[in-house]
C-alpha cells in the first residue's frame, strides 16, 4: 500500500483528489487543507509521496516544501506540486526547488494515481 | 484553381492584449503576475468541473443510461473546449511577451506522430487517417520540443479533421529532405475537405480572424489556433506552407530545419517574432 498525503485548500479540488486517488485500492490517502499542517500530518502518516497545492493561504505550497526539506525525517519524501498557474517562470522555479514534479490543473483524475506512481517510481530508481 | 501561402514568420506585436497591459502602465513582472492570477482563476474551477465529469463518466450508473451518458459526454466536450481556450490564451500571452519556453530534446518522431494521430482519431471515427512515413529507421530520432511539436501537429490535424466530411481520408506524411546540405523534416497533412478561398487563406493566419466554413464543427473558432500554430512552427525553426483548392481540399506542410546539438541552446532563446507574407 502506497501512502499519499495531499494539501489542497480548495474544497472542490480536494474532493476530486480524494475520489481520484481512492479509486486506486493500492493507495491510501490522507489530506489537509492548508500548508501549515502539512509537516505534522506528514510526521504522523509518513507518506510515500506528498502532493502540495501551490496557492494556499497562510503557508503556501513552496513554503510548506521548504519546511518539509528542513525536517530530517521528511526531507527525502518526494513532493509533487499541483498548480493552476502554468506560467513558464513558475514551473521553472518550482522544479528548481527540487520538486519531483509539477501537475497542472485541470488534471485528469482517472490518470492521476498512475501519474503519481510514476513520480514515486522515478524517485526511487 | 490552387492558392498557396507561405508563412515564414509572423508579427506578434499588435492588438490582442488590453492597452494597459502593453502601454507601460504595468511592468513585465506586474503583467506576468496579472496573467498568472487570471490563469489561476480560470483553471481552478475548470479543474473541479473537468475532474467531476471525468469521474462521472466512469460511474456504472452513468454508463447504464445512454441519455445521461450522452449529456455528461456533451458537458465533458464543452469543458475540454474551454480548457483548450485557456491553454491558447496562455500560449498567446507568452508569445506576445516573447517568453515561450522551447525545450529541444531527442524524440522518436514516428512514435510522437502516431500518438498524436491516435488522439485525433478518437474525435472522428467516421474518417480514415492515413499515416505514411518515408523515414528510414535510423532517421526517426530528431531534435524537437516534444510538447510543442505535438501541439503543432495536433492543431493542424484537428483542423483537417474538422473540415472533412464523413468517410473521407486525411493523409499525414513524414519525410526527411536534404537541400543544399541542410536537412529538413517535412510533415504534410492533406485533407479532402471543402478547401479555402484565396480571401480566407490570406487572413486565416492572422490572430483573432476565425474562418467560418459552412458545415464545419464549431470547435475552437476563436481565431487564435492557427496564429499560435504558426508562431510555434517559427519558434521550432520551421516554416509552414499551405496550398488549397476549393472543392478539392487543403494541404499544409510544416518543414523543420534540423539543428546540430551545439546550435540548440542558442535556438532556444531565439525570438519567436515573425511577419506574415502572402
A107: which chain B residues are within 8 Å (Cβ-Cβ)? 47, 51
pLDDT of residue A86: 66
Distance, CA of B98 to CA of B12 (rounded, Å) = 8
For residue B209, what is the DSSP state? -
Q: What percent of chain B has pLDDT over 90?
A: 10
How many beta-carbon pairs below 8 A join chains A and B? 71
Check B51 against A13: CB less than 8 A apart. Answer: yes
Of B32, B36, B47, the CB nearest to A107: B47
Average pLDDT in chain A:
90
Longest Cα–Cα distance of chain B, Å, equals 62
Chain A residue whose CA is closest to B82? A106
Task: Please indicate if any CB of chain B lies within 8 Å of the CB of A88.
Answer: yes
Distance, CA of A118 to CA of A122 (rounded, Å) = 6
pLDDT of residue A92: 76
- 3-state DSSP assignment of residue A45: helix
Q: CA B94: distance to chain centroid?
A: 15
Number of Cα atoms under 13 Å in the Cβ half of residue B150: 17
Residues A50-62 pLDDT 10s: 999 998 988 999 9
Give yes or no for residue B242 having a pLDDT over 70.
yes
Task: Please indicate if any CB of chain B lies within 8 Å of the CB of A110.
Answer: yes
Alpha-carbon distances of B84 from A68, A89, B108, rounded to whole Å? 35, 21, 26
For residue A54, what is the DSSP state? S
Task: Please indicate if any CB of chain B lies within 8 Å of the CB of A12.
Answer: yes
Task: Please indicate if any CB of chain B lies within 8 Å of the CB of A14.
Answer: no
pLDDT of residue B25: 60
Mean pLDDT calculated for residue range B117-128: 76
Report the predicted TM-score, pTM, of the whole model to 2 decimal places.
0.58
Q: Which residues of B72-108 are buried (b: 16+ CB within 10 A; e: fewer)?
A: beebbeebeeebbbbbbbbbbbbbbbeebebebeebe
ipTM score of complex: 0.74
CA of A99 vs chain B CAs: smallest distance (Å): 19
CA of B92 vs chain A CAs: smallest distance (Å): 12
pLDDT grade for A37, boundaries at 50, 70 and 90: very high
Alpha-carbon distances of B21 from A71, A86, B17, B93, B131, rounded to whole Å? 42, 19, 7, 10, 43
pLDDT of residue B22: 52
Q: Which residues pair with B190 in a beta bridge?
A: B171, B251
Distance, CA of B81 to CA of B68 (rounded, Å) = 20
Of A82, A88, A86, which Cα lies nearest the Cα of A64?
Answer: A82
> For an interface test with A, which of B28, B30, B51, B62 has the most A Cβ atoms less than 10 Å from its Cβ?
B51
Of A79, A49, A83, which Cα lies nearest the Cα of A64?
Answer: A79
For chain A, what percentages of helix, strand and coil (3-state, to nearest 5) are there? 45, 20, 35
Q: Which residues of A39-65 are buried (b: 16+ CB within 10 A; e: fewer)?
A: bebbeebebbbbbbbbbbeebbbbebb
Distance, CA of B45 to CA of A12 (rounded, Å) = 8
Check B40 against A85: CB less than 8 A apart. Answer: yes
- 3-state DSSP assignment of residue A25: coil
Residues A58-94 pLDDT 10s: 899 999 999 999 999 999 999 999 988 666 667 778 8
pLDDT grade for B172, boundaries at 50, 70 and 90: very high
Is the backbone of residue A7 left (phi > 0), alpha (psi -120 to 50) or beta? Answer: beta
Of A12, A23, A88, the CB nearest to B99: A88
Q: What percent of chain B has pLDDT over 70?
A: 72
> For an interface test with B, which of A21, A22, A24, A105 has the most B Cβ atoms less than 10 Å from its Cβ?
A105
Check A105 against B46: CB less than 8 A apart. Answer: yes
Check B39 against A87: CB less than 8 A apart. Answer: yes
CA of A41 vs chain B CAs: smallest distance (Å): 24
Distance, CA of B51 to CA of A86 (rounded, Å) = 18
Average pLDDT in chain B:
74
Residues B143, B258: contact at Cβ < 8 Å? yes
Cell triple for residue B34? 496579472
B101: which chain A residues are within 8 Å (Cβ-Cβ)? 88, 91-92
Amino acid at each position: 500500500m502506497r501512502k499519499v498525503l495531499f494539501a489542497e485548500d480548495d474544497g472542490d479540488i480536494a474532493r476530486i483528489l480524494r475520489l481520484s486517488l481512492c479509486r486506486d485500492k493500492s493507495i491510501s490517502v490522507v489530506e489537509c487543507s492548508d500548508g501549515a499542517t502539512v509537516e505534522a500530518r506528514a510526521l504522523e502518516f509518513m507518506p510515500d509521496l506528498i502532493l502540495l497545492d501551490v496557492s494556499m493561504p497562510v503557508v503556501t505550497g513552496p513554503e510548506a516544501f521548504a519546511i518539509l526539506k528542513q525536517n530530517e525525517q521528511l526531507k527525502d519524501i518526494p513532493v509533487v506540486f499541483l498548480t493552476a498557474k502554468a506560467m513558464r517562470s513558475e514551473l521553472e522555479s518550482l522544479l528548481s526547488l527540487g520538486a519531483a514534479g509539477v501537475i497542472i490543473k485541470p488534471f485528469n483524475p482517472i490518470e492521476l494515481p498512475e501519474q503519481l506512481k510514476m513520480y514515486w517510481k522515478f524517485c526511487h530508481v | 484553381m490552387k492558392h498557396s501561402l507561405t508563412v515564414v514568420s509572423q508579427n506578434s506585436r499588435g492588438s490582442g492584449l488590453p492597452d494597459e497591459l502593453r502601454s507601460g502602465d504595468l511592468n513585465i513582472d506586474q503583467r506576468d503576475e496579472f496573467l498568472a492570477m487570471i490563469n489561476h482563476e480560470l483553471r481552478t474551477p475548470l479543474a473541479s468541473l473537468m475532474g467531476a465529469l471525468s469521474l462521472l463518466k466512469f460511474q456504472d450508473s452513468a454508463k447504464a443510461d445512454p441519455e445521461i451518458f450522452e449529456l455528461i459526454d456533451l458537458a465533458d466536450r464543452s469543458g475540454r473546449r474551454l480548457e483548450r481556450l485557456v491553454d491558447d490564451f496562455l500560449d498567446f500571452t507568452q508569445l506576445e511577451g516573447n517568453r515561450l519556453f522551447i525545450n529541444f530534446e531527442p524524440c522518436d518522431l514516428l512514435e510522437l506522430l502516431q500518438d498524436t494521430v491516435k488522439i485525433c482519431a478518437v474525435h472522428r471515427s467516421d474518417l480514415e487517417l492515413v499515416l505514411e512515413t518515408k523515414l528510414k529507421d535510423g532517421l526517426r530520432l530528431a531534435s524537437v520540443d516534444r510538447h510543442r511539436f505535438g501541439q503543432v501537429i495536433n492543431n493542424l490535424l484537428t483542423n483537417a479533421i474538422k473540415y472533412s466530411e464523413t468517410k473521407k481520408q486525411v493523409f499525414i506524411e513524414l519525410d526527411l529532405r536534404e537541400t543544399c546540405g541542410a536537412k529538413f523534416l517535412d510533415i504534410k497533412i492533406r485533407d479532402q475537405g471543402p478547401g479555402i478561398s484565396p480571401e480566407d487563406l490570406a487572413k486565416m493566419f492572422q490572430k483573432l480572424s476565425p474562418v467560418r466554413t459552412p458545415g464545419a464543427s464549431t470547435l475552437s473558432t476563436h481565431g487564435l489556433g492557427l496564429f499560435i500554430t504558426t508562431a510555434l512552427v517559427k519558434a521550432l525553426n520551421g516554416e509552414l506552407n499551405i496550398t488549397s483548392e476549393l472543392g478539392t481540399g487543403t494541404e499544409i506542410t510544416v518543414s523543420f530545419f534540423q539543428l546540430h546539438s551545439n546550435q540548440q541552446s542558442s535556438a532556444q532563446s531565439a525570438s519567436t517574432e515573425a511577419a506574415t507574407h502572402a
